[in-house]
Amino acid sequence: MGTIDKVYNDEKAFELFVKTFNIKVNHQQDKVSLLKDILRAFSKIPYENITKHDFYRKFISPYDVMRNFVLCGAGGTCFPLVYFLKRILDFFGFNSFISLADRTYAPSSHCVVFVQIKNEIFLTDVGFSVFVPVKIEYPKTLVSLNQGNLEFVLQGDRLDVFSIFDNGHKKFRYSTSLKPCSYDDFFSAWEKTYEFEMMNHLIIVKEKSGELVYIRDNFVHFIKNGISRNLKMSLDDVRKIVVSLGIEEKIFDKAVSNLGLKDKEI
């Protein structure tokens, strides 16, 4: 996999991002307000692994992500999206760092960006469809999103994230640290994601019309305020949903062919 030693057209990615999402380059703007604008723009870029097969074990640059979004409505998984976000924050002069996160299925299988603004720390997690800056406070922070209530529990430098349900039940999501990881560790963890079981499935997540649409193969979940409508659909109907999310049909069809979904009973 490539390293950070090369530029990878990051300046072109920044210019295209600012132009596409009409982000104002105003150095007098309040930093928290600007961060909200940036994350709102990232909410329009889908989390998806359908193009990941085309970049198998390759570095997906910010320009790759932005160009594919403009050309065919594609996006990326958490590692390329988080790296893209980090580079955008760098261009805007934010003090930020990437941290790896442990999920139940593997350590260092997720990643987030922490942003320090004055004396406050904010978590940004575009790979988990958290498109608002989460101000991290001791001992815990509670945020209500489309996917439901998320609780961020701080213990020293360790931050544990849980989904909180109306009945009081908690579900562990991931654990991370308020310490930066090295880029060597980041890229190593990124490369290992190609071995995850998720590569055997088609996964797309994107916000649309005030709800979160989550697609896994031919199951589609429409999630709003923590309530999910779950539907099993034909691949033709899933294709229509995918196209309605702004992703070109040919990208979907290529992923279906690569994964052999038409030949499986899914």
Q: Look up the pTM and report it.
A: 0.94
Instruction: Please report the pLDDT score of residue 24 as a whole number.
Output: 82
Tell me the pLDDT tens digit for each residue of 78-105.
Answer: 999 999 999 999 999 999 999 999 999 9
Tell me the pLDDT tens digit for each residue of 190-244.
Answer: 999 988 888 889 999 999 999 999 999 999 999 999 999 999 999 999 999 999 9
| 254 pLDDT higher than 80 | yes
Distances (CA, A) of 266 to 31, 204, 235: 46, 16, 10
Nearest to 220 by CA among 200, 240, 250, 190: 240
| 7 pLDDT higher than 60 | no
| 182 pLDDT higher than 70 | yes
The whole-angstrom separation of Cα 192 and Cα 253 is: 26
Distances (CA, A) of 38 to 13, 44, 220: 14, 10, 27
Choose the weakest-confidence range: 72-76, 96-100, 252-256. Answer: 252-256
Nearest to 162 by CA among 107, 104, 207: 104
Tell me the pLDDT tens digit for each residue of 129-164.
Answer: 999 999 999 999 999 999 999 999 999 999 999 999
Domains of the chain are 10-260 (3.30.2140.20)
Instruction: Please report the pLDDT score of residue 264 as a whole number.
Output: 54
Cβ(252)–Cβ(50) below 8 Å: yes
CA atoms within 13 A on the CB side of 186: 22
The whole-angstrom separation of Cα 103 and Cα 101 is: 7
- List the beta strands (DSSP E) in the chain: 47-48, 95-103, 106-117, 120-125, 130-135, 140-145, 148-155, 158-164, 170-177, 203-208, 211-216, 219-224, 227-232
pLDDT band with cut points at 50, 70 and 90 for residue 53? confident
Tell me the pLDDT tens digit for each residue of 8-23.
Answer: 568 999 999 999 999 9
Distances (CA, A) of 29 to 6, 34, 35, 41, 152: 31, 7, 10, 17, 28
Tell me the pLDDT tens digit for each residue of 99-127.
Answer: 999 999 999 999 999 999 999 999 999 99
According to DSSP, residue 180 is labeled P
The whole-angstrom separation of Cα 90 and Cα 70 is: 22
Instruction: Please report the pLDDT score of residue 198 as a whole number.
Output: 87
In the numeric block, the tokens 């996160």 are attached to 101
